[in-house]
């Protein structure tokens, strides 16, 4: 049996919950065990703009809607159980997922002590499947979160199958509404720009908006300004900022599109809280021709997962805050600043610690695997 706690005891947002849950399913599949997922609580937190006078009429319902759980909205085969006896003598206890990686004895025998082993582990502790299987119960508490792509050091074919087993799929009615909106939109690009508390929470990590640099990056990444740009943001009230950065582009704010043109369809869904708005934003951004996201945002991370899983797109573009800007080349493109075997080895700016690697961005899955 496995016992896993939701990241931060469920006190974080929807996408952190989604990452935690899909990781739990992946570990269950890796070890071929049932799992108990604790601290799953409603995570919907409407954005600040929903309570502002100019937006209350349109979005006020988000403040009163019944709040959904991640597992109300996702459709991923799993072995979750809802009862567990944790008073077991033969158990292993771990904390902080990002300090570990999982592998097998065969991989350990072949690679331990090599450059490849060290490049994957980057100082994390290895846990082999064989060692873990000696325990009747494996507990992960104070778990935080990590991407499955970062956690498993196993042969490419096995790892791809494991990642495929946790591909993100939402309920049919949500998927159908997203498909309807995407089909009607035609060709478009998309962005996710995090504002609000992100500007203070990550100020110490050099997150800020540089209008001139962001504008130049947008033009380099979206050279065809005839394509509309779908915008996912928590800063709907900052339209003047967007107008400056996207001068000459047609902007479509996804939240407004949903409530202006698809309100009836949205209201017909089983859940109508902000989690569902989030999911629709992510699916729409995931299907875009090109996409620019916000580094450190799990919202952007889920979009990058969707783009890889469904559309085979590995265009990892991030708005160039002070930290990300150090990766810009002369053509205003993000470029690796290091040599390395795995994707995180190639971007030293984004790999200063285990936390950075585990969840602050999604990596190119093909560059997290090894051929055996």
51 and 29 in contact (C-beta within 8 Å)? Answer: no
The model's pTM is 0.97
Same domain, 251 and 309: yes
Same domain, 188 and 119: no
- Alpha carbon distance 210, 65 (integer Å): 36
Per-residue pLDDT at 341: 95
β-partners of residue 37 are 4
Residue 184 lies in a domain: yes
> Can you give the residue range of the structural domain that contains 61?
2-164
Per-residue pLDDT at 44: 61
Sequence-distant (6+) residues with CB within 8 A of 206 are 321, 322, 323
Residue found by looking up tokens 């929807």 in the block: 14
Residue 341 lies in a domain: no
Nearest to 344 by CA among 326, 325, 327, 361: 361
Per-residue pLDDT at 50: 84
In order of 75, 258, 272, the CA distances from 181 in angstroms are: 20, 8, 16
Residue 368 lies in a domain: no
Residue 372 lies in a domain: no
- Alpha carbon distance 22, 143 (integer Å): 13
Residue 371 lies in a domain: no
Handedness of CA 263, 269, 274, 276 (dihedral sign): negative
Q: Quick: pLDDT tens for 279-295.
A: 999 999 999 999 999 99
- Alpha carbon distance 276, 52 (integer Å): 20
Same domain, 177 and 258: yes
Q: Is 2 helix (H, G, I), strand (E, B) or coil?
A: strand
Residue 18 lies in a domain: yes
Q: How many domains does the chain fold into?
A: 2
What does the CA dihedral 310, 311, 313, 317 come to, rounded to 10 degrees? -80
DSSP readout, 37-97?
A: EE---------GGGGSHHHHHHHTHHHHSPPPPHHHHB-----EES------SSEEEEE-G
Residue 248 lies in a domain: yes
Same domain, 141 and 211: no
Same domain, 63 and 181: no
Q: Quick: pLDDT tens for 83-136.
A: 999 999 999 999 999 999 999 999 999 999 999 999 999 999 999 999 999 999
Element (H, E) at 117: helix 115-121
Same domain, 55 and 143: yes
Per-residue pLDDT at 168: 98
Tell me how far apart the terminal alpha carbons of the chain are, to the nearest angstrom: 30
β-partners of residue 172 are none
Query: Which parts of the chain register pLDDT below 50?
Result: none
């Amino acid at each position: 049996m496995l016992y896993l706690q939701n990241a931060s005891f469920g006190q974080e947002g929807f996408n952190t919950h989604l990452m935690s849950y899909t990781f739990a399913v992946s570990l269950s599949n890796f070890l071929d065990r049932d799992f108990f997922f604790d601290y799953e609580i409603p995570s919907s937190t409407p954005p600040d703009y929903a309570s502002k006078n100019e937006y209350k009429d349109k979005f006020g319902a988000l403040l009163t809607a019944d709040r959904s759980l991640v597992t109300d909205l996702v459709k991923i085969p799993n072995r979750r159980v809802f009862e567990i006896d944790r008073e077991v003598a033969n158990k292993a206890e771990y904390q902080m997922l990002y300090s570990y990686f999982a592998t097998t004895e065969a991989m350990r025998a072949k690679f331990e002590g090599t450059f490849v082993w060290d490049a994957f582990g980057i100082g994390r502790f290895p846990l082999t499947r064989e060692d873990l299987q000696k325990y009747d119960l494996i507990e992960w508490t104070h778990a935080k979160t990590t991407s499955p792509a970062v956690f498993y050091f196993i042969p490419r074919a096995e790892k791809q199958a494991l990642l495929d087993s946790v591909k993100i799929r939402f309920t049919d009615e949500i998927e159908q509404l997203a498909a309807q909106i995407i089909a009607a939109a035609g060709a478009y690009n998309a962005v996710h720009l995090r504002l609000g508390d992100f500007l203070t929470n990550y100020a110490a990590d050099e997150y800020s908006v540089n209008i001139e640099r962001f504008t130049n990056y947008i033009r380099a990444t979206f050279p065809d300004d005839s394509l509309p740009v779908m915008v996912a943001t928590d800063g709907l009230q900052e339209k003047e900022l967007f107008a400056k950065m996207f001068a000459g582009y047609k902007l479509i704010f996804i939240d407004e599109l949903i409530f202006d043109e698809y309100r009836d369809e949205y209201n017909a869904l089983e859940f109508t809280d902000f989690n569902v708005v989030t999911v629709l934003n992510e699916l729409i951004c995931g299907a875009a021709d090109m996409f620019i996201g916000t580094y450190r945002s799990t919202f952007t991370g889920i979009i990058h997962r969707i783009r890889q899983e469904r559309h085979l797109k590995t265009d990892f573009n991030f708005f160039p805050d002070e930290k990300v800007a150090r990766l810009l080349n002369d053509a205003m493109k993000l470029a690796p600043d290091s040599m390395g075997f795995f994707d995180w080895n190639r971007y030293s700016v984004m790999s200063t610690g285990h936390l950075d690697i585990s969840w602050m961005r999604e990596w190119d899955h093909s560059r997290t695997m090894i051929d055996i």
